[in-house]
Amino acid sequence: MNINKLLFPLFSLGICISNIAQNPIVQTYYTADPAPMVHNGKVYVYTSHDEDTTVNNFFTMFDWRCYSSDDMVNWTDHGAVASLKNFEWLDKTNGAWAPQCIERNGRFYLYVPVHGEGISVLVSDSPTGPFHDPLGHRLIVDSEDVWTDIDPTVFIDDDGQAYLYWGNPSLFYVKLNEDMISYDRTIGKNGIVAVEMNAESFGESKAKDGKHLTNYTEGPWFYKRNDIYYLVYAAGGIPEYIAYSTAPTAEGPWTYQGYIMERAPHLAFTNHPGIVDFKGNSYFFYHDQDLSGGEGFKRSVSVEQFEYNDDGSIPLITPTKEGVKESVANLNPFKKVEAETIAWSEGLKTASNDKTGVYVTNVDGGDFIKVRSVDFKQGAETFTVRAEPLNGGKIEIRLDSKNGSLLGVCEITKTGSERNWQTFTTRTDNHKGVHDLFFVFKGGEGELFNLDYWEFLK
Ligand code: FUB
């Protein structure tokens, strides 16, 4: 039994909330520590991943996942794009903490901390991997305490100089060389600059634990917008708020600006920011613990749209279940859409293999997928889906709600005893215009089928 199927009844008000909820943005896995990256008209969000089963009531994290969106409401699951197994030299099976990815000259650099083993880097020719380890050892060497080397954040300035900031409870940076996998060893202490932690720069410490000298705690997110350098971070010790500081240069001096996310009942004891501008809007990513019904080691990534004030300051942002209200693009249903492109789902998981890539699995009767802002234009008369029948069942295709008007029913029946992927087709009502689309799964006992992709034909 999929653990999410047990937890979903706990999750808010079920059907009612699911029709309006957009947060968390992933319901098939627990995801944390969001790191958004805009590339080629898409937002990619790299996340850490809290396992469904927690070991020793602590962070249980083995790999890093990636999701992408063209419209900020439907998210395509690219699976686990990297894991601790990418590092052959590493003798660790847990500790895949907060990542961030950046593109330079057509290559993608994924900076990752392994808890207790410092910060490393992986490289790929594609934003969704495969990633490989270019060094065979950690990136940040000669650190005085690898236990504090977590939460890397990377940014390339207008002059081409790349910076990597990180740290809990102190803050450090290196100036990355153009190859992005080494750094200038002539500055700071063997290349590592320790940022001066004072109340003017990072606020007064509220943690009162003797370790956190200022309000800065961890999870920095570093970027520049309209000549202001921003460092947004988890603050206030445990439980964490989100605060930020600004500076006139990439190296400071930093000025504390206060909180941008306070506490709310469904937030976890940690929080972790990521901010991007996309298609003219600004988005704030963070994580909460709503999907797990309140377990701080089972977190989920959420996102809110916000607007900067005229002076560049960031307003207080409220964490909501509704999340992003409006898509910034419509989804085209007349070309192949991966089944794992989801605005909201209940009861499902994704898996992947070499032949099919990522697919939707754990499909039982009553589960469903919602896809938002689907533009049927002048009408669609046929639906086709690539599926792997297991016990077999049906897909009810509905508009605008789980119980909305029925466009058609696609039977996914098992033929023969072998498992194999096939295409199934059904006629649909000739519906027009932009709608939310619901696939509601119906069948008997056990798993019904797996789903690869779908499309409508005119
Ligand atoms: O996800 C593990 C740790 O929790 C991260 O490194 C911190 O930022 C906090 O979110």
Q: Mean pLDDT over all residues of the chain?
A: 94
For residues 80-97, average pLDDT:
97
35 shares a domain with 142: yes
Handedness of CA 290, 7, 61, 78 (dihedral sign): negative
H or E stretch covering 16: helix 15-20
* 112-167 per-position pLDDT tens digit: 999 999 999 999 999 999 999 999 999 999 898 999 999 999 999 999 999 999 99
CA–CA separation, 41 and 231 (whole Å) = 25
If you take atom 2 of ligand 1, which residue's CA is the nearest one? 97
Answer for the pair 4, 28: CB distance below 8 angstroms, yes or no: yes
For residues 356-369, average pLDDT:
98
**Amino acid present at 136:** G
For residues 217-246, average pLDDT:
98
Tell me if 90 is assigned to some domain.
Answer: yes
Q: Is 270 in the pocket of ligand 1 (CB under 6 A)?
A: yes
CA–CA separation, 210 and 95 (whole Å) = 25
Point out the ligand 1 atom lying closest to the alpha carbon of residue 98: 6
Under the banding of pLDDT at 50, 70 and 90, the label for residue 19 is: low
* 333-345 per-position pLDDT tens digit: 999 999 999 999 9
The CA 54 to ligand 1 mean position distance, Å, reads 15
Pocket test for ligand 1, best of 269, 272, 300 (most atoms within 8 A of CB): 272
Point out the ligand 1 atom lying closest to the alpha carbon of residue 287: 10
pLDDT at residue 18 in the model: 42
Last residue of a domain, one of 285, 306, 327: 306
* 155-200 per-position pLDDT tens digit: 999 999 999 999 999 999 999 999 999 999 999 999 999 999 999 9
Contacts 24+ apart (CB under 8 A), 50-57: 50/297, 50/298, 50/299, 52/3, 52/4, 52/298, 53/3, 54/295, 54/297, 54/298, 55/94, 57/297
* 388-402 per-position pLDDT tens digit: 999 999 999 999 999
The CA 429 to ligand 1 mean position distance, Å, reads 48
Share of the chain above pLDDT 90, in %: 91
358 shares a domain with 289: no
Tell me if 381 is assigned to some domain.
Answer: yes
Q: Is 367 in the pocket of ligand 1 (CB under 6 A)?
A: no
173: CB partners within 8 A, 6+ apart = 163, 164, 165, 166, 192, 193, 195, 251
169 shares a domain with 78: yes
CA–CA separation, 149 and 57 (whole Å) = 22
The total of structural domains in the chain comes to 2
Q: Is 298 in the pocket of ligand 1 (CB under 6 A)?
A: no
Under the banding of pLDDT at 50, 70 and 90, the label for residue 10 is: very low
Enter the pTM of the model: 0.95
Tell me if 197 is assigned to some domain.
Answer: yes
280 shares a domain with 209: yes
For residues 361-375, average pLDDT:
98
344 shares a domain with 292: no
Domain that holds residue 128: 3-306
Share of the chain above pLDDT 70, in %: 96
The CA 150 to ligand 1 mean position distance, Å, reads 8
Interstrand relation of 344-346 and 393-399 (parallel, antiparallel or unpaired)? unpaired
